[in-house]
């Protein structure tokens, strides 16, 4: 099954000759952002294009085994070089995000680039004003699934290299929590094709899920022991980390990825929140089970966004304590019945 893509014919014509291409994904890149970027990178490079990947902010080191990881530029560290790449690009990919604000300080240079911009994403409410072509499907498991579909639309499934397939497999693994959420028969057909192409599911599972550093493991243990508050009456769990925790554990971007999911392992818990205090921002990430939409809460009350069962927001107005209190008030006032049902 091929999803419809806006302006596909235009994109095909454009990519029929070698182009200068820049691939971008969202700030604080996760497995899906990195996987979709590298999956597409390896495919397009093999087609003869000159391709570079730029991430807005620091990359979590635990994906450094992926082929091409060391060739990714971080805008934050290489600003003038990245600016030049963005302005000279003829084609620019927007992967796993759909608003310029999701690339933080890179947003102005991204929007200003005269490149033909192609969005491939699975989040709600795409901003269509800054792209010329779009493959946006909220029912897709991941941006990686859509990049796989996109490569198929270009007729390239049989030409994918193992490096490309492995990168895409990583995003499929991480955005579905190890093939548990958001899957479909079509999803598993894609998994089957990637495995037939040589992807080792066991090896990648270990690399992705069983590869905590001791520091990260200790931080997880501390978070779920000392920093958790369980609101049993509304089936909600909240983990809160302060600036001091960040210093004490020398927490780097990526170290906290996935902690919010652990709260959902508790029976009956419907909603989890992970709230951390950083330099001048409080970050909220939320998860939910079933029909409860944390996307509604993050969008309506905290100016964030995401998916129904996985959303987040950056809060700049309120501090850590105020944010926690605000969230509890919202849950008890507007959602109590739904959470107790």
What does the block give as tokens for 327? Answer: 């969230």
Least distance from C-beta 66 to Mn ion, angstroms? 16
- Indicate the residue whose CB is closest to Mn ion: 32
Beta carbon of residue 247, minimum distance to Mn ion (angstroms, whole number):
30
User: Interacting stretch for Mn ion, rule CB under 5 A, among 112-120, 126-134, 139-147, 206-214?
Assistant: 139-147
The residues pairing with 117 across neighbouring beta strands, listed in sequence order, are: 92
Q: Which residues pair with 310 in a beta bridge?
A: 287
Nearer to Mn ion by Cβ, of 166 and 175: the residue is: 175
Site membership for Mn ion, residue 277 (CB under 5 A): no
92 Cα distance to chain centroid: 18
Binding residues for Mn ion, how many (CB under 5 A)?
A: 5
Sheet holding 91-95, edge to edge: 72-74, 50-55, 20-25, 91-95, 116-121, 133-136
> Judged by CB, which is closer to Mn ion: 127, or 334?
127
Query: Does 255 engage in binding with Mn ion (CB under 5 A)?
Result: no
Burial of 287: CB neighbours in 10 Å, binned 0-12, 13-18, 19+: buried
For 220, the token pair is 């997880």
* DSSP three-state, residue 317: coil
In whole angstroms, the minimum distance from the beta carbon of 143 to Mn ion comes to 5
Over the window 167 to 196, marking each residue x when it contacts Mn ion by CB under 5 A and - when it does not, the resulting string is --------x---------------------
Q: How far apart are CA 83 and CA 87, in angstroms?
A: 6
Stretch that binds Mn ion, among 137-145, 179-187, 299-307, 324-332 (CB under 5 A): 137-145
Taking the least distance from each CB to Mn ion, the nearer of 32 and 149 is 32
Cβ contacts of 37 within 8 Å, gap of 6 or more = 23, 24, 25, 29, 53, 55, 72, 93, 95, 167
Stretch that binds Mn ion, among 69-77, 141-149, 207-215, 242-250 (CB under 5 A): 141-149
Q: Is 32 in the site for Mn ion (CB under 5 A)?
A: yes
Residue carrying structure tokens 């997880």: 220
Interface with Mn ion, residue 96, by CB under 5 A: yes
220 burial type by CB count under 10 A (0-12 exposed, 13-18 middle, 19+ buried): middle
Looking only at the bridges linking them, the beta strands covering 20-25 and 50-55 are: parallel
Q: Which stretch binds Mn ion (CB under 5 A): 91-99, 106-114, 183-191, 303-311?
A: 91-99
CB closer to Mn ion out of 175 and 255: 175
Task: Assess 145 for contact with Mn ion (CB under 5 A).
Answer: no
**Nearest distance, CB of residue 229 and Mn ion, angstroms:** 28
Length of the chain: 341
Smallest distance, Mn ion to C-beta of residue 279, A? 25
Nearer to Mn ion, 95 or 228 (CB): 95
Residues lying near Mn ion in the complex (CB under 5 A) are found at 32, 96, 142-143, 175
């Amino acid at each position: 099954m091929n999803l419809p893509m806006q302006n596909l014919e235009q994109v095909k014509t454009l990519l029929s000759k070698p182009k200068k291409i820049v691939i971008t994904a969202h700030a604080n890149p996760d497995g899906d952002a990195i996987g979709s970027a590298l999956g597409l990178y390896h495919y397009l490079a093999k087609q003869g294009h000159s391709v570079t990947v730029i991430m807005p902010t620091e990359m979590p080191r635990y994906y450094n085994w992926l082929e091409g990881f060391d060739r990714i530029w971080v805008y934050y560290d290489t600003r003038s070089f990245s600016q030049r790449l963005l302005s000279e690009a003829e084609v620019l990919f927007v992967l796993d995000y759909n608003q310029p604000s999701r690339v933080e300080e890179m947003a102005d240079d991204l929007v200003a680039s005269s490149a033909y911009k192609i969005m491939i994403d699975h989040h709600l409410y795409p901003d269509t004003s800054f792209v010329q072509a779009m493959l946006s499907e909220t029912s897709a498991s991941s941006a990686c699934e859509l990049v796989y579909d996109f490569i198929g639309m270009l007729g390239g499934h049989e030409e994918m290299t193992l490096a490309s397939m492995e990168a895409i497999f990583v995003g499929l693994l991480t955005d579905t929590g190890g093939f548990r959420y958001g899957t479909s028969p079509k999803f598993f057909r894609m998994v089957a094709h990637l495995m037939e192409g040589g992807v080792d599911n066991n090896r990648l599972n270990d690399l992705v899920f069983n590869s905590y550093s001791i520091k990260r493991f200790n931080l997880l243990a501390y978070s779920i022991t000392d920093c958790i508050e369980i609101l049993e009456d509304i089936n909600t769990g909240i983990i809160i980390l302060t600036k001091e925790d960040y210093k004490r554990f020398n927490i780097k971007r990526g170290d906290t990825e996935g902690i919010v999911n652990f709260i959902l392992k508790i029976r009956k818990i419907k909603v989890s929140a992970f709230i951390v205090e950083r330099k001048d921002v409080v970050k909220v990430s939320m998860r939910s089970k079933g029909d409860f939409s944390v996307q509604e809460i993050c969008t309506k009350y905290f100016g964030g966004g995401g998916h129904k069962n996985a959303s987040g927001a950056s809060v700049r107005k309120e501090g850590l304590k105020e944010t926690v209190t605000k969230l509890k008030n919202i849950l008890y006032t507007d959602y109590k019945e739904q959470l107790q049902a």
